[in-house]
Amino acid sequence: MNSPRRRLDARTVFLSDLHLGSPNCHAEALVDFLANLRAQRIYLVGDIIDLWWISERRARFDRHQTAVLESLRELARRGSELIYIPGNHDRPLRELCGLVLPRMTVRRDAVHRGADGRRYLVTHGDDFDGAVQAGGWQEWLGDQLYDYILAGNRITQRMRQRLGLRYWSLAEFIKRQSTLAERYIDRFVDAAVGAAAARGLDGVICGHIHRAALQERAGIVYANDGDWVESMTAITEDSRGQLTLMRWTGQAEVLAEMMPIRLLAAA
C-alpha cells in the first residue's frame, strides 16, 4: 500500500528507537521528517538517546543528530506537546518520570485516548523481555554482530541512493531470514497485546524490537512504530482516530492503516 505525500498533519505521532548518539541513526532523514510534521502531540516512545553507545564509546552527537533535538524543540515551541517515555537504552531518564517541563512530560508509560475513543497503552516494550526471554534475536546475534549488520545497512543505503534506488533495509532482510527472530517477535506481540488486555485497553503502541507493525490480534490493536536505524517509520493518528504506519524516505509512504471505530453515542 503506497501513498506518498510530503506534508504531514497529525493529531498524534508516535516515534521510538531514534538511537541518537549512535552512527546508526538516520538523523538527516529524521530532521527532514520533523521539518514536514505538524502534530498536536508527539510521543517519544523510548531509546531516543542511545546512552549505551555514548557511554561505551564516548560518542557525541553529530550535527544532524543535534538538529533532531533542535527540531523537536521547535515543534514544542510551535505548540506540539511532547511526552517522553524512556526505554532501555535511555533507562537513566526514567529517574525523571513524573517531571513536567514546558511542553514536555516524562512518563514511565501512558494511556493514550484516540480521537475515536479507543485507549492505547503506550510503552517502550522492554518490560516484555522477561516474558519472551530477554534479549531475543539480539541475544542470538550478539550486540556486536548487530552493529556490523547496521553498518552494512548504512553502506547499502548509500550505494542505493547513488543508484537512485529506494530505501531497502539489509538488517530487516537478515532478521526475516531467522526463524528464531520471527518466533521472538511473535512472542513479543503476544506479550504486548496481553498487557493491554490485562488493563482493559483497546490496544498497545510500542517500539523496542525494531519491527514496525500495525495489526489486530485477539481483538486488540498492536502498533509498533518501528525505528530510525532500520525502517525510518512512525505511527500517526489523524483527527478521526485512524492510525497509519508510515515510512519516511523524503515523503510519507503509507505501509498500513487501522480505520477508526465509531464513537458510542454515550461516550
> Which among 157, 164, 160, 168 is positioned nearest to 23, based on CA atoms?
157
Instruction: Convert 206-228 into a string of H (helix), E (strand) and C (coil).
Output: ECCCCCCEEEEECCEEEEECCCC
Q: Residue 41: its pLDDT value, please?
A: 97
Divide the 267 residues of the chain into consecutive groups of 10 and give the mean pLDDT of each group.
71 97 92 96 96 82 94 95 95 88 89 97 92 54 59 66 67 63 85 96 95 94 95 96 94 94 50
Q: Residue 267: its pLDDT value, please?
A: 44
Cell of 7: 506534508
Q: Residue 213: its pLDDT value, please?
A: 96
Contact 255, 247 (CB under 8 A): yes
Kind plus residue range of the DSSP H or E element containing 188: helix 179-198
Q: Say which residue the cell 510534521 belongs to.
A: 37
> Which among 199, 197, 45, 200 is positioned nearest to 108, based on CA atoms?
45
Q: Residue 204: its pLDDT value, please?
A: 98
Q: What is the DSSP letter of 108?
A: S
Cell of 90: 535511555
Kind plus residue range of the DSSP H or E element containing 32: helix 27-35
- Burial bucket for residue 262 (CB in 10 Å: 0-12, 13-18, 19+): exposed
CA distance 11 to 227: 20
CATH number for 8-258 (one of 3.90.550.10, 3.30.365.10, 3.60.21.10, 3.40.50.450): it is 3.60.21.10
